[in-house]
């Protein structure tokens, strides 16, 4: 399944049905007169957050969504049938933005959450409602109120408990593969991760989600590279893991670059709790690792841990440090409800009922 986290769609609620024009003439009813019923209400546009989705790819192929019109009013004062609502299913974590992206119209954060974004038009009046002492046989009727229409942007911010950030080649893919059940691509060149990856970690009878986004580079907040586009996926995380290649040319500069990009992006990312993990510790001796950690502390870094994503050293200690930030029920448990996570051959998570 391809990953898509932004989509622009056109939505329109249904118009109200026209009122009926009818006259009754019954054998045992004196006189007679107009008996046209009102038109039915048009269908609403309702967004619904459901479990089991983690992409907006469906909206690439279905960009115009319209609800049905209400039914015609009929004789014998029968009101036309109301049109059914048009449900638009989106992943949990989807935001609905205005056409100019300046306003958040709805934020779908819970499974089953429903938002009526556009209401269907009311039905038109039938000719029976126009009857008066001076207008005994009206033939006019209402056409029904038009529906509402709108262009909106859908923006997906994946729900995860922990966000994983760092420069390209910091070892993020290896790390998330080691501590979760995902199968992120690993290769000895930058930007092997080009879309966000979600992994479910299990530790001490707890389950939580780690989100890995493409590596950041200097200037990412201004559009350089691809990681800046996906920083929104870690806005909802409770804590960040900043992975640094301890064997890199300048670990202190690597830390400063990412911190600056988080600060420039905004969204409260720089204020989130962080654990700095010096990765690839198995390639350096303890004295050199301690020296690098001291340099980072001098630059302002805190909560520094030594790990090896490939070798497994320090991973349990890192997961232990995350436990105080994890809620009683993880984000993924809330998102999937009574279901279980499954991974396909590409590492994509889906959920099926228990």
Instruction: Please tell me the distance from the alpha carbon of residue 81 to that of residue 69, in angstroms, as a whole number.
Output: 9
354 residues of the chain, pLDDT tens digit each:
467 888 999 999 999 999 999 998 877 777 788 999 999 999 999 999 998 787 888 898 889 999 999 999 999 899 999 999 999 999 988 999 999 989 999 999 899 999 999 999 999 999 999 998 888 889 999 999 999 999 999 998 877 889 888 888 888 888 888 888 777 655 454 555 556 778 888 888 888 888 887 777 665 555 555 556 677 788 888 999 999 988 888 899 989 988 998 888 888 888 999 999 998 888 888 889 899 999 999 998 888 999 988 888 889 999 999 998 886 655 555 555 444 334 444 444 444 433
Residue 55 makes CB contacts below 8 A (sequence gap 6+) with: 1, 2, 3, 4, 5, 91, 156
How high is the pLDDT of residue 219?
Answer: 58
Instruction: Please tell me the distance from the alpha carbon of residue 139 to that of residue 301, in angstroms, as a whole number.
Output: 80
How high is the pLDDT of residue 11?
Answer: 96
How high is the pLDDT of residue 328?
Answer: 64
pLDDT digits (tens, 9 = 90+) for 52-110: 787 888 898 889 999 999 999 999 899 999 999 999 999 988 999 999 989 999 999 89
How high is the pLDDT of residue 18?
Answer: 95
How high is the pLDDT of residue 73?
Answer: 94
- Residues at the annotated binding site? 166-173, 191-195, 212-215, 279-282, 308-310
Instruction: Please tell me the distance from the alpha carbon of residue 141 to that of residue 328, in angstroms, as a whole number.
Output: 59
How high is the pLDDT of residue 147?
Answer: 95
Dihedral angle of Cα 67, 72, 77, 81, to the nearest 10 degrees? -30
Where along the chain do the CATH 3.40.50.300 domains lie? 162-353
- Residues at the annotated binding site for GTP? 166-173, 191-195, 212-215, 279-282, 308-310
Report residue 72 CA to chain centroid gap: 38
How high is the pLDDT of residue 184?
Answer: 62
How high is the pLDDT of residue 2?
Answer: 67
**Selecting from 2.60.40.420, 3.40.50.450, 3.60.15.10, 3.40.50.300, what CATH number does the domain 162-353 have?**
3.40.50.300
Instruction: Give the residue among 118, 143, 13, 115 at the shortest CA–CA distance from 68.
Output: 13
The pTM (predicted TM-score) of the whole model is 0.74
Instruction: Please tell me the distance from the alpha carbon of residue 307 to that of residue 313, in angstroms, as a whole number.
Output: 5
- Residues at the annotated binding site for Mg(2+)? 173, 193
Contact in structure between 211 and 246 (CB atoms under 8 Å): no
Where along the chain do the CATH 2.70.210.12 domains lie? 6-156
How high is the pLDDT of residue 186?
Answer: 56
How high is the pLDDT of residue 97?
Answer: 94
Spell out the CATH class of 6-156: mainly beta
């Amino acid at each position: 399944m391809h990953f898509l986290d932004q989509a622009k769609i056109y939505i329109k609620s249904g118009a109200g049905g026209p009122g009926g024009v009818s006259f009754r003439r019954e054998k045992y009813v004196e006189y007679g007169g107009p008996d046209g019923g009102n038109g039915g209400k048009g269908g609403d546009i309702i967004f619904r957050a459901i479990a089991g989705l983690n992409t907006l790819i469906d909206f690439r192929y279905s960009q115009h969504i319209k609800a049905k019109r209400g039914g015609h009013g009929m004789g014998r004062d029968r009101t036309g049938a109301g049109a059914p609502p048009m449900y638009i299913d989106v992943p949990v974590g989807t935001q609905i933005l205005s056409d100019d992206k300046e306003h958040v119209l709805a934020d779908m954060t819970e499974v089953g959450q429903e938002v009526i974004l556009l209401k269907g038009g009311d039905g038109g009046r039938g000719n029976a409602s126009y009857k008066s002492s001076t207008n005994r046989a009206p033939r006019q009727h209402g056409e029904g109120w038009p529906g509402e229409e709108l262009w909106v942007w859908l923006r997906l911010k994946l729900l995860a408990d922990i966000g994983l950030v760092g420069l390209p080649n910091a070892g993020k893919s290896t790390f998330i593969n080691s501590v979760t059940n995902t199968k992120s691509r690993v290769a000895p060149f930058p930007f092997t991760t080009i879309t966000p990856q979600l992994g479910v970690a299990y530790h001490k009878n707890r389950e939580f989600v780690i989100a890995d986004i493409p590596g950041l580079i200097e200037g990412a907040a201004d559009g350089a590279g691809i990681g800046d586009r996906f920083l929104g996926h870690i806005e909802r995380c409770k804590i960040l893991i900043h992975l640094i290649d301890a064997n890199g040319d300048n670990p202190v500069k690597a830390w400063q670059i990412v911190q600056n990009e988080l600060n420039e992006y905004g969204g409260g990312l720089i204020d989130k709790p962080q654990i700095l993990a010096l990765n690839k510790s198995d390639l350096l001796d303890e004295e050199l690792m301690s020296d690098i950690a001291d340099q980072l502390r001098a630059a302002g870094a805190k909560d520094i841990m030594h790990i090896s994503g490939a070798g497994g050293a320090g991973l349990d200690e890192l997961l232990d440090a995350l436990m105080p930030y994890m809620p009683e029920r993880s984000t993924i448990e809330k998102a999937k409800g009574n279901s279980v996570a499954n991974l396909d051959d590409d590492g994509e998570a889906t959920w099926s009922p228990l």
